[in-house]
Structures are given as C-alpha cells and as structure tokens.
C-alpha cells in the first residue's frame, strides 16, 4: 500500500460532514446517500429503539466483520469507516484489490443510544464489551446474530482510547494501539491469534512513517466477557483497534486518517497471501502504559513562597453541550509527578498558582484558567 498515494487520495474521500467527537445516527444517516455501490440495511433496534445499521462492500470469498462505537463515545473509527466507504465508491486499484477478494460487513454504530448521549455504556448502563457471554442487551444479541449469520473469517473490533496512554515508558503518546485478544487464560499463541498478530505487525510497519514510535499494544490479559476474546475463542482472527491521541488533535481528525490507513492496510493484508510467521514482530510493538495527562503545571506552589514546588495535573472532562463536546479542565491531582508527561506542560517557575477566583486550587475543581503570579493562564483547548 503506497501511503503517499493514499494520503493524496484521502483528501478527496474524507467524509466532510463528519467532524469532531460527537457522531450519532443522525450524522451517519446523512452519509448513506453516497453509498451507491451497496445497500444500507437496518439490522435491529437499540434499547431506545434507534436503528442499528449494516453496510456491505465487496463480493470476495474472504469475509471480514467490522463494528465501531460499541462504546458510544468512541467515534473516531466511525469517521474513518465512512472515509473508507467513500474510497470504496471510487475506481481505485486498492479498492478493487480488497473488494475482489473480500466481503466487508460493517456495523458503523453498534451502540446508537450511547452515541446519542455520548456515554460509554448503552441505555441500560451496560458495557457492551463486557456482555459477550451473558448477552443481556439487544445490541449484544444483534452483534452475535450478525456474527453467526455472516460467519466471518476475520473480525475488526474498533474502539477509541483516552489521552492518558503512552507508548511504554516513553513521552510519546499512544496514537494507535492494537491487540490480538487472548482466547484462554494462558494467553496461548493459537493459530488464529498468530494470524491476528501478523496483520497487526504489518499495520504497525506500514504506519511507522506516519506516526514514528506512536503505536503500542494492549496487555492481553484474558476476559471472556469481552467480545474480542470471545470471537477469538471461536477460532476467528480478531483484531482490536484503539484510536488514541495525537498532538493537539482533541477532535481526532488526524487520528481518523491514521485509522483509515490502518483499516485499509489490514484489509489489504487479508486480501493477499500473507506470511503468518510475521506474528513474531507483533511482540516488538511496545505495550501501552498510562503515563500522560492533558496538562501538567510544573514547579508550582499553592500558598506561601516557602512551600516546596509541586505539580498540578489537569485532565479534560468531555461534556456534551449543544451537540458538540466541550473539554472541561478538571484538577485531578496535586503532588510530585515526575513520572508523568503532559500533552501540554506549563512551567510556573516556583510561583504561586491560584484558581480562576484567585483561591487555592483543590482536587476535583473545574477551572478554565489559573492565575500564575497574578497573570491569567488559560487551560482551555
């Protein structure tokens, strides 16, 4: 896959009507009219009777099942999917290669109620990614029914992750993370897991020029209640995609491009004869850790000048407001935080830091700006 060519093509296929973090059925329904080479079907209904849609591209013998927004507030991969659909609608060599070999079945928003309210959970307050065994929710039952009827050869489980993740112990944000889920408590390297690992390893190799050292992998601790672990246990190579943070990209518009490339690369690998022994390269991808904060104010003092300097962590709380996401700065901790990194770091230079009312900072407080040496410093995006 020629990434230079893909980047050039991306400018023309990026779905311009989808932007930012708040993506719902109302948004994607407006895009369906562009899907002229396929039929959009209603697969079923959510708890609150919102439709859950299915979209199919290609007629190849290899079947790939993809779903996004199982967690309603993880929308980046949904945007990337519609970018892929726009590419599939064009006369493109990569598209032809993939769709001649593969049938791609996509559920673009599995949890439309959670998407509407911008929450991780569904309307019954259930995490659908912990409901793979009990199947208590209509959305979980629908996904299993689609799996049983479609009988996929591969599964792509598309998610989004918080800004807190780093690539191992480094000061590099985990812009993308991947996992070949375990299928048993021993995390056995089964043939299908090796296949999933080899595909991830090829995606990682392809994307390194775009986000050098910015890709990590999740810990593979086994949990059969998770959909990925369950489908892996059925013997089907299953890949977890996590869209993370890229510098100054809280709307996840750059990250969607990386996800777009990753999905296409994964499908391209599947559409050709690939070397499954490449799975060993998967283990060279660093594991992710939680070493990032949105903002750290370094070398701060809270009261009198004789106090020792401390660090102040501000984390954004994502709040749905007027059909968009507002990033509200919240004081998360006040201590010595040398082991953590901030996506933005402010040096207080041993000056006293107060809140917006010129009062002492306290953990859990919301504050749009701080006073450093009586000067206002904004914490807003």
The mean predicted confidence, pLDDT, of the chain is 95
Q: Percent of the chain having pLDDT more than 70? A: 99
Per-residue pLDDT at 71 exceeds 80: yes
Domain closes at, from 289, 312, 342: 289
Entry pTM: 0.96
CATH of the domain at 232: 3.40.630.10
Domain closes at, from 269, 289, 309: 289
What is the domain extent for residue 234? 3-289
Cα 377 from Cα 214, distance rounded (Å): 29
Instruction: Look at residue 306 in the predicted model and tell me its pLDDT.
Output: 57
Q: Which residues pair with 25 in a beta bridge?
A: none
- Judgement on whether residues 335 and 266 belong to the same structural domain of the protein: no
Q: Which residues contact 248 (CB under 8 A, 6 or more apart)?
A: none
Instruction: Look at residue 364 in the predicted model and tell me its pLDDT.
Output: 95
Closest C-alpha to 299, from 246, 231, 348: 348
Three-state SS sequence of 224-242: CCCHHHHHHHCCCCEEEEE
Instruction: Look at residue 239 in the predicted model and tell me its pLDDT.
Output: 98
Per-residue pLDDT at 219 exceeds 60: yes
Confidence bin at 1 (pLDDT 50/70/90)? confident
CATH of the domain at 370: 2.30.40.10
Q: 134-148, 219-233, 298-312, 364-378: which has the minimum mean pLDDT?
A: 298-312
- Token couple for 33: 């009219």
Per-residue pLDDT at 77 exceeds 70: yes
- Judgement on whether residues 329 and 186 belong to the same structural domain of the protein: no
Cβ atoms of residues 102 and 88 within 8 Å: no
**Strand pairing class (176-179; 292-300):** unpaired
- Judgement on whether residues 101 and 191 belong to the same structural domain of the protein: yes
Confidence bin at 356 (pLDDT 50/70/90)? confident
Confidence bin at 305 (pLDDT 50/70/90)? low
Distance (Å) of CA 365 to CA 138, 251, 312, 313: 38, 24, 12, 11
Residue keyed to tokens 């390194």: 208
pLDDT tens digits, one per residue of 309-324: 899 999 999 999 999 9
Is 171 strand, coil or helix?
Answer: coil
Beta strand residue intervals within the chain, DSSP E: 40-45, 51-57, 62-67, 102-107, 154-160, 166-167, 176-179, 215-217, 238-243, 288-289, 292-300, 310-321, 324-335, 341-347, 353-354, 369-372, 375-378
- Judgement on whether residues 314 and 283 belong to the same structural domain of the protein: no
Between 21 and 355, the higher pLDDT residue:
21
Confidence bin at 225 (pLDDT 50/70/90)? very high
- Judgement on whether residues 195 and 125 belong to the same structural domain of the protein: yes
Domain closes at, from 250, 271, 289: 289
- Judgement on whether residues 254 and 334 belong to the same structural domain of the protein: no
- Judgement on whether residues 285 and 330 belong to the same structural domain of the protein: no
- Judgement on whether residues 354 and 235 belong to the same structural domain of the protein: no
- Judgement on whether residues 277 and 329 belong to the same structural domain of the protein: no
Q: Percent of the chain having pLDDT more than 90? A: 90
Beta strand residue intervals within 208-291, DSSP E: 215-217, 238-243, 288-289
- Judgement on whether residues 114 and 167 belong to the same structural domain of the protein: yes
Answer left, alpha or beta for residue 293, where phi above 0 means left and psi between -120 and 50 means alpha.
Answer: beta
Residue keyed to tokens 């709380």: 317
- Token couple for 92: 């493109």
Instruction: Look at residue 338 in the predicted model and tell me its pLDDT.
Output: 86
pLDDT tens digits, one per residue of 175-213: 999 999 999 999 999 999 999 999 999 999 999 999 999
pLDDT tens digits, one per residue of 228-278: 999 999 999 999 999 999 999 999 999 999 999 999 999 999 998 777 789
**Strand pairing class (375-378; 166-167):** unpaired
Residue keyed to tokens 């006369």: 91
Cα 262 from Cα 136, distance rounded (Å): 32
- Judgement on whether residues 23 and 36 belong to the same structural domain of the protein: yes
- Judgement on whether residues 105 and 157 belong to the same structural domain of the protein: yes
Cβ atoms of residues 35 and 125 within 8 Å: no
Instruction: Look at residue 181 in the predicted model and tell me its pLDDT.
Output: 98
- Domains in the chain, number: 2
Instruction: Look at residue 374 in the predicted model and tell me its pLDDT.
Output: 84
Instruction: Look at residue 276 in the predicted model and tell me its pLDDT.
Output: 78
């Amino acid at each position: 896959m020629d990434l230079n060519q893909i980047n050039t093509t991306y400018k023309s296929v990026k779905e311009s009507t989808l932007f930012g973090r708040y993506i719902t059925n109302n948004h994607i329904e407006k895009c369906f009219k562009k899907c002229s080479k396929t039929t959009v079907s209603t697969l079923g209904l959510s708890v609150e009777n919102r439709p859950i849609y299915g979209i199919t591209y290609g007629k190849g013998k290899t079947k790939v099942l993809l779903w996004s927004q199982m967690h309603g507030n993880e929308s980046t991969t949904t945007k990337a999917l519609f970018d892929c659909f726009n590419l599939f609608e064009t006369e493109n060599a990569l598209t032809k290669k993939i769709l001649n070999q593969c049938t791609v079945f996509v559920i673009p928003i599995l949890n439309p109620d959670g998407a509407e309210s911008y929450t991780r959970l569904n309307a019954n307050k259930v995490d659908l990614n912990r409901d793979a065994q009990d199947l208590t929710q209509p959305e979980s039952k629908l996904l299993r029914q689609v799996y049983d009827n479609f009988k996929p050869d591969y599964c792509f489980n598309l998610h989004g992750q918080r800004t807190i993740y780093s690539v191992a112990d480094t000061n590099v944000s985990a812009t993308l993370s991947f996992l070949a889920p375990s299928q048993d408590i021993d995390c056995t390297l089964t043939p299908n897991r090796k296949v999933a690992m080899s595909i991830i390893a090829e995606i990682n190799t392809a994307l390194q020029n775009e986000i050098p050292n910015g890709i990590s992998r999740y810990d593979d601790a086994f949990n059969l209640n998770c959909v990925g672990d369950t489908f892996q246990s059925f013997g089907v190579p299953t890949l977890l995609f996590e869209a993370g943070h890229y510098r100054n990209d809280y709307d996840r518009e750059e990250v969607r491009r990386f996800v777009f490339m990753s999905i296409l690369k994964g499908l391209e690998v599947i559409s050709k004869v690939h070397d499954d022994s490449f799975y060993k390269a998967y283990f060279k991808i660093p594991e992710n850790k939680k070493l990032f904060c949105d903002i750290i104010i370094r070398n701060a003092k809270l009261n009198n000048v004789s106090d020792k300097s401390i660090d102040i962590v501000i984390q954004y709380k994502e709040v749905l407001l007027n059909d968009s996401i507002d990033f509200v700065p919240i004081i998360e901790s006040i201590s010595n935080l040398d082991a953590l990194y901030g996506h933005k770091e402010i040096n207080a230079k041993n000056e006293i830091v107060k809140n917006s009312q010129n009062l002492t900072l306290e953990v859990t407080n919301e504050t749009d700006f701080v006073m450093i040496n009586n000067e206002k410093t904004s914490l807003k995006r």
